[in-house]
A and B are shown apart, each in its own frame.
Chain A
Amino acid sequence: MTLMNSKPMNLDIKQLFFHLSLSLFISYSLSAEEKKESIIEKKNSNYEAVVRIENSSLNPDYKTPWNSGRDSGGNGTGWLVAENKFLTNAHVVSNSRIIYIKKVGDAKPYRARIVHIAHDCDLAMLELEDPSAFEGVKPFDVGKLPQLDTKVKVIGYPIGGERISITSGVVSRIDFLSYSHTNVDLHLTVQIDAAINPGNSGGPVIQGGKVVGVAFQGYSGNIAQNTGYMIPPPVIKRFLKDVEDGNYDHYVDLSMSDFPLLNPSQRIALGLPNDGIGIMVSNVEEDGSAGGILKTGDVLLEIDGLTVKSNGLINYGGEDVNMNEIVERKFAGDVIDLKIWRNKQPMNTQVTLKRFMPYLIAARKYDEKPRYVMFAGLVFQPLDRNLMAAHNMKSLQVRYHFDSYVSSNIYKERPEVIVLTSILPDSINSYFNQFTQSIVDKVNGVKVKNLKDVHLALSKNDGDYIIINLLGSGRPIVIEEGKIEEAQKRIQTKYNVIKDHYLGPIE
């Protein structure tokens, strides 16, 4: 499920999370305290299958998209899930350049590569180029969702020392929460009170010798104590199932938002019995799974045969869980049965699930080279969260398009919103500074729907002038065609812009 358009209160919480490993360096002071483990648990522990993962990353700079980016690095934990298949968090190996895996009691780093990476659920699968070092090591089994108030232990390589660390605690809470890696995804999450620290990310949480979670995020100590989160088995298993065919196909989404039926007037007006059942449909994204099937004011009564309560929970396997749990277990193309209430009577309908790409505008993106067009010193880039963060966008137009891209159906008119993000000063553009952080409407009379449109329209030279119309500004940018070629060369040399455009992996 994607976060966008859901209740704003979720947004407050997610900003408080921190990633457990990446970008946080490990201090080398030795910890005097050793965790004591019971002998029985130790026998079940399979430390050899828990590995330290070291990632050297290259983080793109959206301000200078033609540059290769900044070198950075970090370390986390991973574990053997099958023969030569290691599981860790996506954020441990994001934007990676080189990955090494280290085995317990073995100083030698082994070169690894990513097989699958799922940013939407913060999981990744790695394999070794040469698996021989792990021959005979037994992979972990993935267990069931642990019960509340049962004991678990966390194994990993967190901050505080070089060697493996074990902490233990109990399952404190099971909830449906935001995954901070992308900032837009919500999934089932288990909170535990075992100490989870930077470096634990990707590490296994063990109960009865089986993996019942992947440690992945927590709160900074000055916000909440003993509050660590792990990715539970349903999410892990879904990922493993999804990649069985050799491809990761992502989560699917109903692409709608709901509003609880807490006010008696809502029930009376909608003609519903006062039985505490049903949740109202608020926004429905036209191009999403439920578009054209559900509409504002419908009430969801049942989802795949399970009753939806007025707070959006269903009883699934004896537990009250968010109704989105049903959608969470499904894959693209799967059908979901809905019983809804419309025009004061019940009716049955079906929704075929798919991804809803426009939500991604708000997601942090990884492993992608920033796309851009640099023309006469003007830098054009498609709008997304990475761009917003890099450029400290103040412009109302840009903020509105980012904020309302889905809710005002902007995606239908402009699949990509192209922003004039910055200007590399040159005599050809000396009066253009007022236009930075504007949105491109048309280039040479052609309406711009994506970055490629900008590139194509700018490459055509059939007039004396290049005319660029910006949204909300009646004054167009006018550039003399005859001056461009020379200026382009001059600017590329002066500002060391190796390539004047990058439109994406398929050109």
Chain B
Amino acid sequence: MKQFSYTLIISISHLFICYVDSFAASAEKSVIRVNTTMQAFNLIQPWEKGAASTRLGLGAVLPNNKVLVTAQMVTDATYIELEKPDSSEKTTAKVLTVDYEANLALLEPSNDKDFLSDREPFLLNEKLSPSDELEAWQFESNGTPVSTKITVSKAEVRKSFLDTSNFLQVQANGPVQYRSGSFTLPVAKNKKLAGLLVSYSSKDQISSILPTSIIKHFLNDIENGEYTGFPNLGIMYSQTLDEQFRQYLKLGKDDGGVFVSKVIEGASASGNLKSGDVILEINGHKIDSRGNYVDDVWGKLKFGNLVRGIPFTGDTIEMEIIRKGERMEVSFELIRRPTEDYLIDPYMFDRGPKFSIIGGLVFQELSVPFLKLFGNDWRTRAPIKLLMAHANPEMYEKKGNKKLVIMTRAIPTPATLGYERLSTLIVTKINGVPVKDIKDVHEASKSPIDGQHRIEFESYPKLIFLDASLSSRLNKALEQRIGVTQRLD
């Protein structure tokens, strides 16, 4: 699947005002251009931001002066602009709520509260089903609306933006021609919003659409007060196709069932499911041996949709399981484990990486984006100890680590003489104090031992020292050069 982002970034200067015939009235009144300037932080030099880039997309106008876009449209945005396609009138906008996992964001004009008053907000078309005809709305660069018809084929629970988050997505067939500024496209059914088109493969002419069921979940969550996000179950599971395995688990012929192979601490299943359980039913839906349930509309779907896609945090989930050969019912409250609670942040948007510099040694909290610096094949190229920590965070969580602090590199300074080649080392203690997160680095750096910082690593060279007064002088000099020497929050 080719993401729209690869091809559709076209300079704003090509857009100019012109008058258009009203071809699909609600298209030009309900769809709005969203122009964002994005600038992510540099993970190697965390005190810097990288080069700015522009992303042009379309948003769906919603009631109450709001605009819905994908999260991908506004991640790391430094400047967001709404532009009326018909008049090219512009205003700045801000993000009200963003959910990177579901890939949705809600915007509103920053100052001009009446900016959208001449628009016609979308209503949500709640039911989508196979062979529905949808319209994808775009604009020619001169502002003329273009409508493309696509036909819904099926739905799948799969990743869209983050490779760790799976949500229901609808697939539709039919050619969609690119127009400028079409990073994401609202799609409509009977002039009501049916979803956001997030990716399109020109080879197969297949569009992936984030459907209204997920959008509605997102909007309802916002309306209910503080946004809590989609719940997560927090298990790893295996299929039970192997007949020998099924017999061993005492599964009957009519049973499906998935085998719980790992329960992650801190998410919904923690304390409620055990490794070795077999999940047979969720909220009355039978789970087959591949991990699917039968959805009334879409047929077989991964059971994840029953956990993430439909219920809200705080809802109770009911399951029929087999534990140690015994059939039983369990029910528990669904929660969402906040990403901040992960030992290694799975993603990092709209904030800089946390870091602290002592005399030229750069300390950072390990994150998946950092691991991804090792290239597309980071899973084989990144340092093995870091990959192992990522795959088995409990190795460190058991020791009380909140985060995994690594010394990413040593900027050559008089204080780091002899340490220039050290990099990506897991830090265990500084000045005798165990390091559990980046704040500990900063705190510990206040109490050097006899004027020297004592820094301990998990592996070779295990132990190094830094001159404390030289380090603080160098930190001041570095601050002159790079602005900041730490970001702890």
Partners in one complex: yes
| Chain A residues engaging chain B, CB cutoff 8 angstroms | 5, 8-9, 257, 259-266, 268-270, 280, 282-283, 296-297, 394, 396, 399-400, 403-404, 407, 428, 430-432, 465, 467, 472-475, 478-480, 483
- Whether B460 pairs with A297 at a CB distance below 8 angstroms is no
Highest count of chain B CB atoms <10 Å: which of A9, A260, A474, A478: A474
Which residues of B have CB within 8 Å of A264? 417, 467
**Pick from A5, A261, A266, A270: contact of B460, CB under 8 Å:** A5
Q: Which residue of B lies closest to A284 (CB)?
A: B462
Decide if B261 is an interface residue (CB 8 Å cutoff). yes
Interface flags for B212-254 (1: CB within 8 Å of A; 0: not) read 0000000000000000000000001010011011011000000
Q: Can you list 26 A-B contacts (CB < 8 A)?
A: A5-B460, A260-B418, A262-B417, A262-B418, A263-B464, A263-B466, A268-B450, A268-B467, A282-B463, A283-B460, A296-B463, A297-B462, A396-B384, A396-B391, A399-B380, A403-B385, A404-B388, A431-B245, A432-B242, A474-B236, A474-B238, A474-B275, A475-B259, A478-B244, A479-B244, A483-B244
- Whether A283 pairs with B462 at a CB distance below 8 angstroms is yes
**Pick from B387, B421, B459, B466: contact of A265, CB under 8 Å:** B466
Decide if B452 is an interface residue (CB 8 Å cutoff). yes
Known A-B contacts A269-B452, A475-B259; A404 and B385 likewise in contact (beta carbons under 8 Å): yes
Q: Which residue of B lies closest to A264 (CB)?
A: B467
Known A-B contacts A263-B419, A396-B391, A400-B384; A474 and B262 likewise in contact (beta carbons under 8 Å): yes
CB distance from A401 to the nearest CB of B (A): 10
Interface flags for B450-489 (1: CB within 8 Å of A; 0: not) read 1111100001111111110010000000000000000000
- Whether A9 pairs with B421 at a CB distance below 8 angstroms is yes
Which residues of A have CB within 8 Å of B238? 474-475
- Whether A472 pairs with B392 at a CB distance below 8 angstroms is yes
Which residues of A have CB within 8 Å of B415? 263, 265
**Pick from A266, A399, A407, A432: contact of B464, CB under 8 Å:** A266
**Given A478-B242, A480-B244, 18 more pairs with CB closer than 8 A:** A5-B460, A265-B467, A265-B470, A269-B449, A269-B452, A396-B388, A396-B391, A400-B385, A400-B388, A404-B384, A404-B385, A430-B242, A431-B242, A467-B248, A474-B238, A475-B238, A475-B261, A480-B247
9 pairs of A and B residues whose beta carbons are closest in the complex:
A474-B261, A262-B418, A431-B242, A269-B452, A259-B461, A269-B465, A475-B238, A265-B467, A265-B465
Known A-B contacts A262-B417, A480-B247; A269 and B450 likewise in contact (beta carbons under 8 Å): yes
Decide if B2 is an interface residue (CB 8 Å cutoff). no
Q: Which residue of A lies closest to B417 (CB)?
A: A263
- Please report the C-alpha to C-alpha distance between residue A431 and residue B246 in the assembled complex, in whole angstroms: 12
Which residues of B have CB within 8 Å of A5? 460
Which residues of A have CB within 8 Å of B244? 428, 465, 478-480, 483
- Whether B379 pairs with A474 at a CB distance below 8 angstroms is no
Q: Which residue of B lies closest to A270 (CB)?
A: B465
- Whether B465 pairs with A282 at a CB distance below 8 angstroms is no
Interface flags for B357-391 (1: CB within 8 Å of A; 0: not) read 00000000000000000000001100011011001
- Please report the C-alpha to C-alpha distance between residue A5 and residue B459 in the assembled complex, in whole angstroms: 9
Q: Which residue of A lies closest to B416 (CB)?
A: A263
Q: Which residue of B lies closest to A473 (CB)?
A: B261
Which residues of A have CB within 8 Å of B236? 474
Which residues of A have CB within 8 Å of B470? 265
Q: Which residue of A lies closest to B380 (CB)?
A: A394
- Please report the C-alpha to C-alpha distance between residue A404 and residue B450 in the assembled complex, in whole angstroms: 34
Known A-B contacts A465-B244, A478-B242, A478-B245; A263 and B462 likewise in contact (beta carbons under 8 Å): no
| Chain B residues engaging chain A, CB cutoff 8 angstroms | 236, 238, 241-242, 244-245, 247-248, 259-262, 275-276, 379-380, 384-385, 387-388, 391-392, 415-419, 421, 449-454, 459-467, 470
Q: Which residue of A lies closest to B421 (CB)?
A: A9
Q: Which residue of A lies closest to B383 (CB)?
A: A403
CB distance from A420 to the nearest CB of B (A): 16
Known A-B contacts A474-B275, A475-B261, A479-B244; A257 and B460 likewise in contact (beta carbons under 8 Å): yes
CB distance from A213 to the nearest CB of B (A): 32
- Please report the C-alpha to C-alpha distance between residue A268 and residue B415 in the assembled complex, in whole angstroms: 13
- Whether A399 pairs with B460 at a CB distance below 8 angstroms is no
- Please report the C-alpha to C-alpha distance between residue A407 and residue B244 in the assembled complex, in whole angstroms: 39
Which residues of B have CB within 8 Å of A263? 415-419, 464-466
Q: Which residue of A lies closest to B242 (CB)?
A: A431
Which residues of A have CB within 8 Å of B380? 394, 399
CB distance from B344 to the nearest CB of A (A): 14
Which residues of B have CB within 8 Å of A480? 244, 247
- Please report the C-alpha to C-alpha distance between residue A185 and residue B421 in the assembled complex, in whole angstroms: 23
Which residues of B have CB within 8 Å of A262? 417-418
Which residues of B have CB within 8 Å of A407? 459-460
- Whether B461 pairs with A282 at a CB distance below 8 angstroms is yes
- Please report the C-alpha to C-alpha distance between residue A265 and residue B414 in the assembled complex, in whole angstroms: 10
Which residues of A have CB within 8 Å of B417? 262-264
- Whether A269 pairs with B454 at a CB distance below 8 angstroms is yes
CB distance from A183 to the nearest CB of B (A): 18
- Please report the C-alpha to C-alpha distance between residue A409 and residue B168 in the assembled complex, in whole angstroms: 45
- Whether B461 pairs with A474 at a CB distance below 8 angstroms is no
CB distance from A442 to the nearest CB of B (A): 14
**Pick from B276, B463, B465, B466: contact of A474, CB under 8 Å:** B276
**Pick from A269, A430, A474, A483: contact of B260, CB under 8 Å:** A474
Which residues of B have CB within 8 Å of A432? 242
Highest count of chain A CB atoms <10 Å: which of B236, B417, B465: B465
CB distance from B383 to the nearest CB of A (A): 9
CB distance from B477 to the nearest CB of A (A): 17
Known A-B contacts A472-B392, A474-B261; A266 and B465 likewise in contact (beta carbons under 8 Å): yes
- Whether A259 pairs with B248 at a CB distance below 8 angstroms is no
Which residues of A have CB within 8 Å of B418? 260-263, 266
CB distance from B284 to the nearest CB of A (A): 26
- Please report the C-alpha to C-alpha distance between residue A475 and residue B388 in the assembled complex, in whole angstroms: 19
- Please report the C-alpha to C-alpha distance between residue A474 and residue B273 in the assembled complex, in whole angstroms: 13
Which residues of A have CB within 8 Å of B384? 396, 399-400, 403-404
CB distance from A273 to the nearest CB of B (A): 16
- Whether A268 pairs with B388 at a CB distance below 8 angstroms is no
- Please report the C-alpha to C-alpha distance between residue A8 and residue B461 in the assembled complex, in whole angstroms: 11
**Pick from B379, B392, B452: contact of A268, CB under 8 Å:** B452
Q: Which residue of A lies closest to B261 (CB)?
A: A474
- Whether B465 pairs with A396 at a CB distance below 8 angstroms is no
**Pick from B260, B387, B461: contact of A396, CB under 8 Å:** B387
Q: Which residue of A lies closest to B452 (CB)?
A: A269
CB distance from B431 to the nearest CB of A (A): 11
Q: Which residue of A lies closest to B420 (CB)?
A: A262
- Please report the C-alpha to C-alpha distance between residue A262 and residue B414 in the assembled complex, in whole angstroms: 11
Which residues of A have CB within 8 Å of B388? 396, 400, 404
CB distance from A419 to the nearest CB of B (A): 16
Q: Which residue of A lies closest to B245 (CB)?
A: A478
- Please report the C-alpha to C-alpha distance between residue A312 and residue B445 in the assembled complex, in whole angstroms: 30
**Pick from A260, A265, A473: contact of B452, CB under 8 Å:** A265
- Please report the C-alpha to C-alpha distance between residue A280 and residue B418 in the assembled complex, in whole angstroms: 13
